Chain A
Amino acid sequence: MLEIRNLHARIVDDGTEIIRGLNLTVKAGEVAAIMGPNGSGKSTLSYILAGREDYEVTEGDILYNGQSILEMDPAERATSGIFLAFQYPMEIPGVATMEFLKVAMNEQRKARGEEPLKIPEFLKRVKEAAASLSMDMNMLKRPLNVGFSGGEKKRAEILQMKLLEPKLCVLDETDSGLDIDALKIVSDGVNALRAPDRAFLVITHYQRLLEHIVPDSVHVLYKGQVIKSGDKSLALELESNGYAGVIGQAA
């Protein structure tokens, strides 16, 4: 489903190279965990997948279902099924959450050649999704993410993911800022979406999240490259030995 080939990318503003020859393949139905120390390029990778303009790909390619996505803007990538759950979701004053959800869902439907949702059907879906994440509907009456706590923002991201039904879900440190209960709710939300035709890229610092969202593969990112890949036992190894051992082997 996702194939990243020898990817090199830098920050547009100052030319700093962050991704330096990254290779990664994620199959449909797979949950791939990306781990790595601070500054290894994890968040940058998520932004590049989503198409953020602050980064420039200088070499290599990203293939999604066999097609390069490098020329697609963020909206085109999103409507083709790529979803990024932000580490720090943006607060957008003045944009009503419900209005935003409706617009976003209908854009996805439009891209798939479907009719816009009727209001009652839309409300029903939002209510169901919110209930499954223990979210209060009153929260959704506020402007998008405005005044949400860190945990509420993360839940709102998963809510959007549920409603938009993407095929490739990139979760950027979704566990940060969550207490144990919220972590459980969010993880259950993600697990419920696991499907043979859907892949996940779960970016995290800690093994903790991976106890709830059990990965099929674990990849260690360091200095913009995947330096080691393995199964879920690799995450446990990292948890007990730290990154130093893996980095030492690679060097």
Chain B
Amino acid sequence: MPALSGKPREMPEGKVRLMNIHTQPLRTTAETALIDAFGDRLSLLPGDGAVMLKRDDAIESIKHGLPTRRVESWHYTDLRRLLNAIPDFDPAAAANAIAPIVEGAAVFAVQNGVSSMKVPTVEGITVQRLTDKLIDGSIAPGLDPYGSDDAIGALNTAFVADGYFVDIADGTQLERPIELQNLQAGGQTHVRLPVRVGAGARATIVERQTGGGAALVSSVSQLVVGEGADVTWLIVQEQPETATHLAQFKAHIGKNAKLTLFVMNAGGKLVRQEVIVKTIGEGADFKLRGINLLAGDTHTDVTMVLDHAVPHTTSTEIVRNVVTGKARGVFQGRINVHQYAQKTNAKMACNTLLLSDDGEFSTKPELEIFADDVVCGHGATVTEIDHNHLFYLMARGVDEKSARGLLVKAFVAEVIEELDNEAIVEALEAKLDEWFVAHG
């Protein structure tokens, strides 16, 4: 020990960090399993030369190790420690089909990581299997991870084999939602869902993430919202309490375009949902509404990075969390207002209802503002059920359990009721009820 004392401290910080990488003791079981799986799967992975190069780069970054709590963006979700078992691929497994949350929606299902040859036709929409887009290399440019700490992007780029590429033509007004289903059947599933919504189009897109096994799922959705388009995107995640779900939603919002992203996490053993959004045209508006229903011994992380990159763009983010059991939750919300993004208006709120002594929730809001004429704010609260409210309901004859249920549901339902679509509101409230029945 004495021989080492003092020495590392004199080194420049960068060098110390480099040393950490080189002296990283041993790969974890999960890291080894991922690297081995890549070797085994390589010959089966679709892609032209450009795609395969991206895959190589991606697996290289995994070889450097999964992020730990020392990586700032992963501080509350130490992936290296939390990701301990990697299931094998199981091509023979069959995923159960599910009905869409809104009746009459056009369903595009990915079952056990494989898209369907037979998909519904909807006027104004072109849908291609992602595996074809990988083979012809046309989506190679979109496969780059977001940054050096983008473990989900890297994992997905290394292994992605299928998904759907959806193009909604300019001016299309979709009456009924499109539902993109990612249905796992255990094993590993790596899916990508790029969607382009053309100028002036209006669409509601539901992304379902569920399945029946102790799977490892990576799923990356990439959305481009064209000028003046209006998109509502709902992510409904209901993985079993044995699954690891690593997901990313990336979007660019064009001039005078609107995007409402609704995220509902109601399952999963280890969940990270990243939301990476950029306003790229003046007048763009982004809304994030999130509900995290956390139960059991689980870990759920919603991490948002929002770039207000041009002037006159607006955003509001409201995340409501219900924590029961031994569940742990995280919300990181980072808003970057670029130097020339004057007149930005952004407001973020994260409210947590903590219903158990063993549960926990960590909130980290970050505002990085380089412009001088902006309105930005954030707030976070952690509360228990209001005893005055409980007394009031009980004084009308509602028993304690039902009264608590009403109040907890009310806490999250407020966020749902904001959505301006009755069928969607009803469908999500039904999902809420399902969760409360299972975990009440």
Contacts and interface: CB of A to CB of B under 8 A. Distances in A.
Interface string A31-68: 00000000000000000001111000000000000000
Nearest to B387: A53
Contact of A107 (B387, B402, B410, B412): B402
B123 interface: no
Given A94-B413, A95-B407, A89 B400 contact: no
Contacts of B412: 94
Interface stretch (A17-25, A70-78, A237-245): A70-78
Contacts of B399: 75, 107
A94 B411 contact: yes
Give the dominant DSSP class at B's interface: helix
B81 interface: no
B414 A94 contact: yes
Most buried by B among A73, A83, A90, A111: A90
A100 B407 CA distance: 11
Interface in A141-196: 143, 160, 164
A95 B406 contact: yes
A128 to B, nearest CB: 19
B83 interface: no
Nearest to B413: A94
B394 A75 contact: yes
Contacts of A84: 395
B379 to A, nearest CB: 16
B395 A74 contact: yes
Contact of B393 (A79, A100, A143): A100
B411 A107 contact: no
Contact of A94 (B392, B393, B402, B410): B410
B397 interface: yes
B398 interface: yes
A160 B397 contact: no
8 contacts: A90-B389, A92-B392, A92-B393, A94-B413, A95-B393, A100-B396, A103-B406, A104-B393
A108 interface: yes
Contacts of B402: 103, 107
A78 B395 contact: yes
Contact of A75 (B403, B409, B414): B403
B395 A50 contact: yes
B77 to A, nearest CB: 29
A90 B388 contact: yes
A92 B393 CA distance: 9
B370 interface: no
A206 interface: no
Nearest to A86: B392
Contacts of B397: 75, 78-79, 104, 107-108, 111, 164
Contacts of A53: 387, 391
A84 B394 CA distance: 11
Interface string B79-109: 0000000000000000000000000000000
A103 B395 contact: no
A93 interface: yes
Contacts of B393: 92, 95, 100, 104
Interface of B: 387-389, 391-400, 402-403, 406-407, 409-414, 417
B382 to A, nearest CB: 17
Contact of B395 (A51, A100, A111): A51
Given A90-B389, A92-B389, A103-B402, A74 B394 contact: yes
Given A74-B391, A100-B393, A100-B406, A107 B413 contact: no
Q: Tell which of A86, A93, A95 has the most Cβ of chain B within 10 Å.
A: A95
A121 B47 CA distance: 63
A119 B17 CA distance: 67
Contacts of B403: 75
Contacts of A50: 391, 395
Contacts of A94: 407, 409-414, 417
Nearest to A105: B397
Nearest to A110: B397
A103 B407 contact: no
Contact of A92 (B387, B395, B400, B410): B410
A100 B409 CA distance: 12
A92 B394 contact: no
**Most B C-beta atoms less than 10 A away, residue of A51, A75, A90, A143:** A75
Nearest to A163: B396
A95 B410 CA distance: 5
B420 to A, nearest CB: 16
A90 B392 contact: yes
B286 to A, nearest CB: 24
A76 to B, nearest CB: 8
Given A78-B397, A164-B396, A92 B391 contact: no
A50 B388 CA distance: 13
Given A51-B395, A94-B411, 16 more contacts: A50-B395, A53-B391, A73-B400, A74-B391, A84-B395, A89-B392, A90-B389, A90-B392, A93-B414, A94-B412, A95-B393, A103-B402, A104-B393, A107-B399, A160-B396, A164-B397
A161 B400 CA distance: 20
B253 to A, nearest CB: 29
Interface in A96-131: 100, 103-104, 107-108, 111
A84 B397 CA distance: 11
A160 to B, nearest CB: 6
Question: Which residue of A50, A78, A86, A160 has the most chain B CB atoms within 10 A of its CB atom?
Answer: A78
A92 B407 contact: yes
